[in-house]
Amino acid sequence: MSKYLKYFLIFIVILFSNFIVSTSLSDSPSKEEKIDVPIAIETKEEIAPLTVYPSTLTKKVSKKLDSIFTRFNKRNGFHGSILVAKNGKLVFSNEYGYADFKNKIELDGNSSFQLASVSKQFTAAAIMILYERNQLNLDDLVTKYFPDFPYEEITIKHLLNHTSGLPKYFWLAEHKWDQEKAPSNSEMMDMLSEYKLQRFFKPGRNFDYSNTGYFVLASVVEKVSNMDYGSFLNENIFEPLQMDHSFVYRYQIDSVGEDQLAGYRLYRRRYHAAIGGTVNDAVVGDKNVYSTAEDLFKWINGLNDGKIISKNSLEMMYTKGETKYGRKVPYGFGFRIDDRNSEKIVYHRGTWNGFSTSLMQYTDSDLVIITLEHSKYNSMKYLNQKVRTIVEENFQEVIL
40: DSSP letter: H
Specify the pLDDT at position 95.
98
What is the number of structural domains in the chain?
Answer: 1
Residue 1 resides in a domain:
no
Compute the distance between CA of residue 82 and CA of residue 101 in angstroms, rounded to an integer.
Answer: 19
Task: Give percent of the chain above pLDDT 70.
Answer: 87
Residue numbers of the domain that contains 335: 105-290+298-357
Distance CA 229, CA 233 (A): 6
d(CA 334, CA 69): 28
Position 36 confidence tier, pLDDT thresholds 50, 70, 90:
very low
What does the pLDDT read at residue 90?
A: 97
Residue 300 makes CB contacts below 8 A (sequence gap 6+) with 359, 361, 368, 370
Quote the percentage of the chain above a pLDDT of 90: 83
Is residue 126 a contact partner of residue 221, using CB atoms and an 8 Å limit? yes
Q: Bridge partners of 127?
A: none
Give the model's pLDDT for residue 232: 98
pLDDT tens-digit profile of 48-58?
Answer: 678 999 999 99
Q: Is residue 151 part of a domain?
A: yes
> What pLDDT was estimated at residue 171?
97
Q: Which residue has the higher pLDDT, 53 or 38?
A: 53
Is residue 364 domain-resident?
A: no
> What pLDDT band is residue 45 in, cutting at 50, 70 and 90?
very low
**pLDDT score for 117:** 98
pTM score of the predicted model: 0.88
Whether 5 shows a pLDDT value over 90: the answer reads no
Q: Is residue 257 part of a domain?
A: yes
Domain assignment of residue 264, yes or no:
yes
**pLDDT of 39 above 90:** no
Where is average pLDDT lowest: 34-38, 95-99, 209-213?
34-38
pLDDT (tens digit per residue) in 63-86: 999 999 999 999 999 999 999 999
For residue 143, CA distances in Å to 48, 136, 192, 208, 310 come to: 42, 13, 13, 21, 27
- Our CA dihedral for 23, 27, 32, 35, rounded to 10 degrees, sits at -160
The reply to whether 114 falls in a domain is: yes
Q: Is the pLDDT score of 347 beyond 50?
A: yes
pLDDT digits (tens, 9 = 90+) for 174-212: 999 999 999 999 999 999 999 999 999 999 999 999 999
CB atoms within 10 A of CB 162: 23
Residue 80 located in a structural domain = no
DSSP string, 124-180: HHHHHHHHHTTS--TT-BGGGT-TT-S-TT-BHHHHHHT-S----HHHHHHHH--SS
3-state secondary structure of 95: strand
Q: Quick check: 105 pLDDT over 70?
A: yes
145 occurs within a structural domain: yes
Cα–Cα distance for residue pair 318/305, rounded to 1 Å: 14
124: nearest Cα among 232, 245, 246: 232
pLDDT attached to residue 310? 98
Q: At 398, is the pLDDT very low, low, confident or very high (cuts 50, 70, 90)?
A: low
Q: Which domain CATH number covers 191? A: 3.40.710.10
